[in-house]
Structure 1
Amino acid sequence: MDNDAFWRLIEDSLRYSPSRSRREAFLAERLAELPADHIVLFQTHLDIACGRAYAWDLWGAAMRIFGGWCSDDGFEYFRLWLIGRGRTVFERAVAEPDALAGFAEVRCLAGRHRRTWSSDVEWPEWESLDYTAAKAYARVTGDDDECSEGFYDAVEVRLSGHPFPRDPMGERWDARDEATSARKVPSLTELFSIETLR
């Protein structure tokens, strides 16, 4: 399970269904066909991608989409969702967060209150993607505990020596400030009005 295989599996799930719950089932099935150490590697690639997206500019973009607020956990789930959109979307958004405004899955949310976003298809968060490999690992190893210390210990060993930022990369800014937001993410600022989304 190298990085290319990780992204192929994510993109296969995206082609399989727009529903996150169905995609999770698909990923769990596919991962359960692999040796346990490959499942661990899937999680390490997921964690590394999440770490690469840990940046203030992307957090500000997420805040704009969410109407001016995005918690620490919310930003983690947003990054997992972004990974779930596939490698091309992920790489483009990490390099240029305002590019999110050009993606159909973001544009369809503009002008609508968050209460109207479909939780299984549209909502730009995917917390449970982070648990999919652990579930598959439990199934393959026969461990009844899906929060198995063995799985997370194995992931930690694989990630040892890999640098993760303690704080988001770049400079913090306020997505609720219209002038700053218009400078940082002009297209998203135009699409997502803070006032109408509250």
Structure 2
Amino acid sequence: MDTDEFWALIEASAAAGTPDERLAWLTDRLAGRPAAEAVGFVQRLDELRGPIDTWRHWGAALLICGGLCSDDGFFYFQAWLVGQGREAYHRVLADPDALADLPWVRRLAGRHQLDWTDEEWPDWEGLDYVADEAYERIAGEEGGLDDVVEARGVELRSSPDPVDEEWDVNDPAELAHRYPRLAALFPLPREKRRSVCETARP
């Protein structure tokens, strides 16, 4: 599966409905293809995570989520961003503040995070399991996908490991400077936020 085929599946899944319905649709489509397609899917997802695994993007996620973005939260945020489609992904890759232009993000503005439904949270953990479930259906064995990927010499990411220079993502002034459009949608309180490593989605 090449990158174009991956994006075609992701974008076609949007017509399925809710995030969970999209996951079921993707799993069914992959399960109906050769096993190599499931392997390719998980590798393309992993490759797309790399360029957005940065402190620049983590800071933006932290701002949107009101400080509730731990390492797991950011990892699933990356999958969610991929799920927004190729155009949105590349816009946010170039400028994390472009998240302010996404309709999904704008729907969250002005509302407390405790009022967001599970489907509204900007994370998509389930996307990480689509290929595994499809492969199990095809091969009839659990865990087989991991063995195939490892045999190819590929080590898939399991948590964030930002590649850019670290900065204080808890500094309200710095966040407002780096993400003016997001800061306008999600105003920061005056007090310093807790460390991203100490916060988590409730």
* Aligned-partner Cα distance in 1 for 2:66–2:54: 18
Deviations 1:150-176 (A, max 9, x none): 21122234463999xx83122223343
Residue 180 of structure 2 corresponds to which residue in structure 1? 186
**d(CA) in 2 for partners of 1:99, 1:85:** 13
Q: Which residue of 2 aligns with 1:176?
A: 170
- 1:57-96: CA deviations, max 9, x gaps? 0000000001124111110000000101111111111110
Q: Is the 8 A contact 2:43 2:156 kept in 1?
A: no
Residue in 2 aligned with 1:12?
12
The amino acid that maps onto 1:4 is D
Deviations 1:107-140 (A, max 9, x none): 11011011211212x2100111100110000001
CA contact (8 A) 1:6 1:42 kept: yes
| RMSD of aligned alpha carbons | 2.2
The alignment covers a number of residue pairs equal to 190
Map of 2:130 onto structure 1:
132
Q: Name the aligned partner's letter for residue 195 of structure 1.
A: P
Cα deviation, residue 23, structure 1: 0.4
Specify the SS of the correspondent of 1:194.
coil
Q: Which amino acid aligns with 1:15?
A: A
* Structure 1 counterpart SS, 2:189: helix
TM-score normalised by L of structure 1: 0.88
Q: Using the alignment, how far apart are the partners of 2:46 and 2:74 within structure 1?
A: 14
| Aligned-partner Cα distance in 1 for 2:151–2:16 | 32
Deviates more, 1:88-97 or 1:172-181: 172-181
TM-score normalised by length of structure 2:
0.87
Amino acid in the other structure paired with 1:170: D
* Number of the residue aligned with 1:58: 57
**For 1:42 and 1:48, how far apart are their aligned partners in 2?**
10
Percent identical pairs in the alignment equals 47
User: Are the structure 2 counterparts of residues 161 and 67 from structure 1 closer, same or farther at C-alpha, using a change threshold of 3 Å?
Assistant: closer
Q: Secondary structure at the match of 1:40?
A: helix
Q: Distance in 2 between matches of 1:156 and 1:193?
A: 44
What is the alpha-carbon distance in structure 2 between the residues aligned to residue 157 and residue 15 of structure 1? 35
CA distance in 1, matches of 2:140, 2:156: 29
Offset of 1:195 from its aligned partner?
Answer: 3.1
Distance 1:142 1:41, change over 3 A: same
**How far 1:51 moved relative to its partner?**
1.7
> Residue 16 of structure 1 aligns to which amino acid in structure 2?
A
SS at match of 1:112: coil
Distance 2:176 2:50 in 1: 26
Change (3 A) 1:162 1:152: closer
Report if aligned partners of 1:44, 1:159 keep a CA contact under 8 Å in 2: no
Distance in 2, matches of 1:65 and 1:159, equals 36
1:46-85 equivalences in 2 (<5 Å): 46-85=45-84
Query: In structure 2, what is the Cα distance between the partners aligned to 1:128 and 1:161?
Result: 19
**Structure 2 unmatched ranges of 5 or more:** 194-202
Does residue 141 of structure 1 match 2:139? yes
Partner of 1:116: 115
**38 and 152 in structure 1: CA distance in 2 versus 1, 3 angstrom threshold:** same
